[in-house]
Amino acid sequence: MSAALVSMTGIVKDFTGVRALDGVDFTLRPGEIHAVMGENGAGKSTLIKVLTGVHAHDAGEILLDGKPVRFNSPGAAQAAGIATVYQEVNLTENLSVAENLLAGREPRLGPFINFRAMRRKAKALLDDLGIDLNVAAPLSSYSIAMQQLVAIARAVDIDAKVLILDEPTSSLDRDEVAVLLGLMRRLAAERGTAMVFISHFLEQVYDICDRMTVLRNGKLVGEWATADLPESELIGHMLGREAAALEQLERSVAGHEVADEAPLLSAKGLGRKGSIAPYDLDVRRGEVVGLAGLLGSGRTETVRLIAGADRADSGSLSFDGAKVAGHNPRTAAARGIAFCPENRKTEGLVGDLTVAENMILAMQAARGWARTIPQSQRNRVVAEFIDKLGIRPGDPDMPVKNLSGGNQQKVLLARWMLIEPKLLILDEPTRGIDVGAKADIQKLVAELSGEGMAVLFVSAELDEVTRLSDRIAVLRDRELISVLESEADMTTERIVDTIVAGGGSE
């Protein structure tokens, strides 16, 4: 067994009261490809950022080649031989391939860049990695995959001992991924570069990684050789099986028995290239349809097409008996489709506006600016929903950015309940909020569907999905692979099995 190249022990990182990493250990050996696995908020990116000098850790030790190190900036980490390739290609598209490869290290004649030597050097560098590009062409003329390879080539040229790849494949198609993985294999075999690989695609991880470290909620779950950890166990480790400390909700299937009539929403072959493969999905009145899958499996992308937040480039959608054309958020709301997006801060709320203003935003948007909601009606509904959803503090004039996550989520929910939608789409409504608010929101979803509202419910927590849903659509690798219908299928085990099986069986 070779000595560790990087060894991190007992790493602790706090962000203003939230412990993002709690005593995590991580070991990287020379020449290995090592996956760091975990769901959102597990601490993967924080761990990487501590290693690359973006964040300073609060406790613990990092050894590089056996010597303790502490990086203050990404530049310092680079100088020590730790290079990073990010999900977004961090190169400048307006410059040529050669310039991007060698920016800051161009060969020069006196003060002047020697373009001929630079092209030659870039060409040699790429040839060495088995990539054949016209190095004089601007980077923008190549596909994202090639750009990502150029980013890796740049990283490798900085004599990287450690190469960190943070979701480099998330915007690539299948062939492009094969190209990238091929390059990674060669780097490991021929140069002995150690790599840390982060990806949501289990196939890729199993394809290429020697070992994996699994994190959950900022804690280390364990480290395994890939061969020793079957996919089902890995998913179990990532998601955790412990039932949340929530009261068990009564599943009131009786209220949902209107399911035989024509579906309220029906998507046929709806899809968008590069984000979600075409899928069919029906939702009936009074029904909760859960969407389950790992992070990056296409959950959010699926519902965004239905909400009109993104434009579909294939398939058709019908809602409430009518075909939907020219779909956008405004027309969707007018039809009765409400969408609470995944990211409260950037896509949901306007932080500077007050609780009351955020609540009535959608209702007001539907009425247009000239028809103001009368002050008395406004005060009444705002007070009613603050009360009904238990928003704390109950001050309608507090800027919404001062509220806690759970209360912000309730404000967002109230915004859409105000327009009395027929279909409510909730994308991760319970992520990052406290247990009490979580239970409130779950109860509310059950109530609303009891009253006849259709709900599309996306959540990373399988417990929650199984508890609330009448049916569950399971996604994997940007594809809807199966819809679980029967009561017996509403278990986390069944969902995990379906994800592992990968949708081959119908």
Partner 1 sequence: MNNALNRVLANQYARRLMWPVLVLLVLIAVNIAVTGFDFIWPHVSDGRLSGAFVNILRRSAPLLLIALGMTLVIATKGIDLSVGAVYAIGAAIACQTIIDGTDQSAAGLIFRAVAIALVATAVIGAWNGTMVAYFGIQPIVATLILMIAGRGIAQLVTGGQIPKVQDSSPFTELGRGEILTVPVPIWIAAAVFAALVLLTRRTALGMLLEAVGGNPEASRLAGIRSKGITVLVYLVCGLCAGLAGLIGAANLGSADANNGGLWIELDAILAVVIGGTSLLGGRFYLLGTAIGVVIIGTLGDTIINIGLSDQWQFTVKAIVVFIVALLQSPEFRAWVFKPFKRRPAAPAAAPAEEVLAK
Partner 2 sequence: MSTQTLTERPARSTLFDGMTRYIPIGATVALLLALYFGGVANYRNFDKPQVIANLFIDNAPLLVIAVGMTFVILSGGIDLSVGSVMAFSTMTCAWLTVEAGLSAPLVVALVLVFGTGWGLLIGAVIHYFNVQPFIATLVGLFLFRGLTLQISTSDMSMREVKFFQWGMTHVEVGGGIRQGGFWLPYLSFAAIAVVAVAFVVLHYTRFGRGVYAVGGNEQSALLMGLPVARTKIGVYVVSGFCASLAGVLAAFATKSADPLRHVGAELDAIAAVVIGGTLLTGGAGFVLGTLAGVMVWGLLNTLIQFQGNLSSWWARIVMGVLLLAFILLQRGLARSGEKRRT
Residues that bind partner 2 (CB under 8 A): 74-75, 78, 84, 86, 89-95, 99-100, 103-104, 106, 108, 111-113, 115, 130-134, 137-138, 140-144, 146, 149, 154, 179, 182-183, 186, 190, 274
Q: Which is nearer to partner 2, 96 or 358 (CB)?
A: 96
334 binds, among partner 1, partner 2, none (CB under 5 to 8 A by kind): partner 1
Residue 116 is a binding residue for partner 1 (CB under 8 A): no
Enumerate residues 271-330 that contact partner 1 by CB under 8 A.
307, 309, 329-330
Q: State CA 187 to chain mean position distance.
A: 28
User: What is the nearest approach in angstroms of partner 2 to the Cβ of residue 130?
Assistant: 5
Residue 333 interacts with which of partner 2, partner 1, none, CB < 5 to 8 Å by class? partner 1
| Nearest distance, CB of residue 404 and partner 1, angstroms | 18
| Residue 337 bridge partners (DSSP) | 423
Q: Is 367 in the site for partner 1 (CB under 8 A)?
A: yes
Q: In terms of C-beta density within 10 A (0-12 exposed, 13-18 middle, 19 or more buried), how is residue 449 classed?
A: buried
- Tokens at residue 179, please? 């190209």
Spatial neighbors of 431 by CB under 8 A, at least 6 apart, are 40, 41, 342, 459, 460
Instruction: Give the nearer residue to partner 2 in terms of CB position, either 80 or 259.
Output: 80
Residues 12, 246, 249, 365: which binds partner 1 (CB under 8 A)?
365
Q: How far is CA 83 from CA 86, 135, 258, 466, in A?
A: 10, 22, 57, 41
Total residues in contact with partner 1, by rule CB under 8 A: 43
Q: CA-CA distance, 23 to 19, in Å (whole number)? A: 10
- Alpha carbons 299 and 460: distance in angstroms, whole number: 9
Q: How far is the CB of 7 from partner 1 (least distance, A)?
A: 24
Under rule CB under 8 A, which residues in 388-417 are in contact with partner 1?
Answer: 395-398, 415
Of the two residues 108 and 330, which places its CB atom closer to partner 1 in the complex?
330
Tokens of 323: 């075909």
Task: Please state, in angstroms and rounded to a whole number, the distance separating the CA atoms of residues 87 and 82.
Answer: 17
- The reply to whether 362 sits near partner 1 by the rule CB under 8 A is yes
As a three-state string, the secondary structure of 300-345 is HHHHHHHHCCCCCCEEEEEECCEECCCCCHHHHHHHCEEEECCCHH
User: Does 66 participate in binding partner 1 (rule CB under 8 A)?
Assistant: no
Listed residue (464, 455, 456) closest to 492, CA to CA? 464
Return the SS3 of 149. Answer: helix
Identify whether the C-beta of residue 306 lies closer than 8 Å to the C-beta of residue 335.
no
Q: Is residue 72 involved in binding partner 1 (CB under 8 A)?
A: no
Which option in partner 2, partner 1, none does residue 339 bind, with CB closer than 5 to 8 A by kind? partner 1
The string of DSSP codes covering 412-448 is HHHHHHTT--SEEEEESTTTT--HHHHHHHHHHHHHH
CB of residue 20 vs partner 1: minimum separation in angstroms? 11
**The residue to which tokens 């990502």 are assigned:** 148
The distance of closest approach from Cβ of residue 382 to partner 1 in the complex, given in angstroms and rounded to an integer, is 10
Task: Measure CA of the first residue to CA of the last residue in the chain; give whole Å.
Answer: 44
**Binds 396: which of partner 1, partner 2, none (CB < 5-8 Å by kind):** partner 1
368 touches, from partner 2, partner 1, none (C-beta below 5 to 8 Å by class)? partner 1
Residue from 68, 110, 368, 374 in contact with partner 1 (CB under 8 A): 368
Q: Which is nearer to partner 2, 115 or 206 (CB)?
A: 115
Instruction: Report the residue number, 217 or 275, with the smaller CB distance to partner 2.
Output: 275
Q: Which stretch binds partner 1 (CB under 8 A): 119-127, 131-139, 154-162, 352-360?
A: 352-360
Which of 301, 357, 470, 489 binds partner 1 (CB under 8 A)? It is 357
Q: Is 457 helix (H, G, I), strand (E, B) or coil?
A: strand
**Which of the choices partner 2, partner 1, none does residue 144 contact, using the CB cut-off of 5 to 8 A by kind?**
partner 2
CA distances 40 to 20, 176, 199, 230, 238, Å, are: 11, 25, 12, 21, 10
Q: Which stretch binds partner 1 (CB under 8 A): 92-100, 233-241, 341-349, 464-472?
A: 341-349
Contact 404, 410 (CB under 8 A): no
Does residue number 352 form part of the binding site for partner 1 (CB under 8 A)?
Answer: yes
For partner 1, which residue of 347, 392, 439, 500 counts as binding (CB under 8 A)? 347
Q: Which stretch binds partner 1 (CB under 8 A): 54-62, 131-139, 151-159, 451-459?
A: 54-62
Q: Under the criterion CB under 8 A, does residue 366 sit at the interface with partner 1?
A: yes
Minimum CB–partner distance for residue 294 and partner 1 (Å): 21
Q: Exposure string (b/e) for 294-330, b if CB count within 10 Å is 16 or more?
A: bebbbbbbbbbbbbbbbebeeeebbbbeeebeebebe
Q: Quick one: what does residue 133 bind among partner 1, partner 2, none, with the CB cut-off 5 to 8 Å set by partner type? A: partner 2
**Torsion over CA: 306, 308, 314, 318 (sign):** positive
Q: Rule CB under 8 A: which residues touch partner 1?
A: 15-16, 49, 54-56, 307, 309, 329-330, 332-334, 339, 341, 346-353, 357, 361-362, 364-373, 379, 383, 395-398, 415
